[in-house]
Amino acid sequence: MKLETYEIKKLSLPEEVITVVNTLKNKGFEAYLIGGCVRDLLLKRKPKDWDVTTDATPEEIISLFKDTFYENTYGTVGVVNEETKDETLKVIEVTPYRLEAEYSDNRRPDHVTFSKKLEDDLQRRDFTINAIALEIKEDAKNKFTGEYLDYYNGHEDLQDKIIRTVGDAHDRFTEDGLRILRAVRIATEISFKIDKNTEKAIIANVSLLKNIAKERIRDEFTKIIMSDNPMSGLILCRKMGLLPYIVPEVETTVSIEQSRSHIYDVFEHSLRSLQHCADKKYTLEMRLAALFHDIGKPTSRRKDKEQDIWTFYGHEVIGSKMTAQILAELRFPKKIIEKVAKLVRWHMFFADTEQISLSAVRRIISSVGRDNIWDLMNLRGADRMGMGRPKESPYRLRKYHSMVEEAMTDPVSVGMLKMNGQKLMEVTHETPGPKIGYILHALLEEVLENPTLNTEEYLNKRTKELVKLDALELEKLGESGKETKEKEEKKKIEDIRKKYWVK
């Protein structure tokens, strides 16, 4: 173990971070930035969180800051910054130096012993690139510089883009089995390779993942899914044998051949669909739906001997139930489970746009929900791209987009008015009859010509004027209103179809 130091002449850090570090140092304590934030700074990436390590005890840390919380057995104190708008700075975690301890359950240390030496704390960390400490220094002109302290060649591994454990890889993974998945997740997020000895230790110890709480597995899995390259991350998971301990159902899709329209097996097709969602910066729910949309295919696959093709009838129904179960086991929130399962259930909505009716489209919208329909359309695009098709939106899919928008567009009708039949009868003292309809359509024509007239005050006043007209004149106005309404609806539909370049 040899200490290497690197000077940084100009250091730009958030004020909240500098305040925490300086508060500790001004009271005579050591304080260093540590872990992922230091790694990200060296990689010129924006840190997702900020961690400080110190020789102060939890009680001493708490005494120095106005707003803190301390709800764990590891000594970590959360310093709260409510005023900041940056979510990464809302809580800065400050943890005392810790000594190595036994991990009898392969998940967490049996006990925690605090130390007064930075070297002790760095020695217990997972990977060399996370075991670099950064000391913040301030010169006479209030300019900040930094010095990186590196005992395990982490800086060199960063330059070489290597994930390597601190010390013996077997020991690091038996201490906390989640580090196996963390290695893959970090490699995926920053496009690094895993050191050969570290990889061998992962493969040898992969079964330790069965001891890890599902919530912790879920969090690392989610970070892989939400990375820029989830496809490569899941391929790495499969290569090293991790999938059976995360989502075993995905493993069963490997080598499942599909019909002639597909050039990939179900596994690669699903990963390519997921990657398309990542390229489009889609949400977690969309990415999960893309990964699981064909999860029911291995169970539903049957051979059609006459046509010599594989069929997968009902795979969307089976897949929806499987998806809900998978996500529930990984302790995803109910809201996410329901949405993803619904997207999987209805992803096969696509049919011949020349034969399908608007009423059928409306039923699909009703089934999946207005809030989810455009995600469903985007899932279809991802499904198509996962098949190796060159176009994300061919004519048929654009036509479907047009039909969905048409079906969701509020109709041009008297329902748009801030006046209804009941109110009209109250204002005019008329009884139900054709006259009421004529007046409403006459009002609608005026509002279509000038939408600013759609106010209760104007419509009440105009209604009282219209009711005085004779029946024939009123009928003429009403029929004219209906014609205007039909023209407006036709124009609306033409505009929608023009938008999607369809007829």
Task: Specify whether the backbone of 281 is left (phi greater than 0), alpha (psi in -120 to 50) or beta.
Answer: left
Measured distance CA(60)–CA(63) in Å, rounded: 5
Angle of helix 334-345 versus helix 373-386 axis, rounded to 10: 60
Number of helices and strands in the chain (H, E) = 24, 12
Nearest to 14 by CA among 101, 102, 89: 89
pLDDT at position 155 is 94
Output helix, strand, coil percentages for the chain, rounded to the nearest 5: 55, 10, 35
Q: At 315, list the tokens.
A: 């795979």
- Residue 86 pairs with which residues in a beta bridge? none
Our CA dihedral for 465, 466, 469, 473, rounded to 10 degrees, sits at: 150
* Residues 30, 118 contacting (CB under 8 angstroms): yes
Q: At 371, list the tokens.
A: 């809030």
Nearest to 259 by CA among 225, 328, 309: 309
Measured distance CA(54)–CA(436) in Å, rounded: 79
CA 196 vs CA 126, 155, 160, 253, 340: distances in Å: 16, 18, 13, 28, 37
- Residue 95 pairs with which residues in a beta bridge? 53
Pure H helices in 27-104: 36-42, 58-64
b (16+ CB within 10 A) / e for 108-120: bbeebebbeebee
Nearest to 319 by CA among 347, 339, 283: 347
Measured distance CA(132)–CA(56) in Å, rounded: 19
Which residues in the chain come in under a pLDDT of 70?
Answer: 1-11, 100-111, 139-142, 258-262, 303-312, 350-355, 359, 389-394, 409-413, 481, 488-489, 492-493, 495-497, 499-503
Task: Phi first, then psi: give them for residue 395, nearest 5 degrees.
Answer: -55, -45
All structural domains of the chain: 4-160 (3.30.460.10), 162-246 (1.10.110.30), 249-408 (1.10.3210), 414-499 (no CATH)
pLDDT at position 226 is 98
pLDDT at position 413 is 67
Tell me which DSSP letter residue 98 carries: B
Q: At 50, list the tokens.
A: 């900020």
Concatenating the DSSP letter of every residue in 313-349 gives TTHHHHHHHHHHHHHHHTT--HHHHHHHHHHHHTTT-
Measured distance CA(446)–CA(488) in Å, rounded: 13
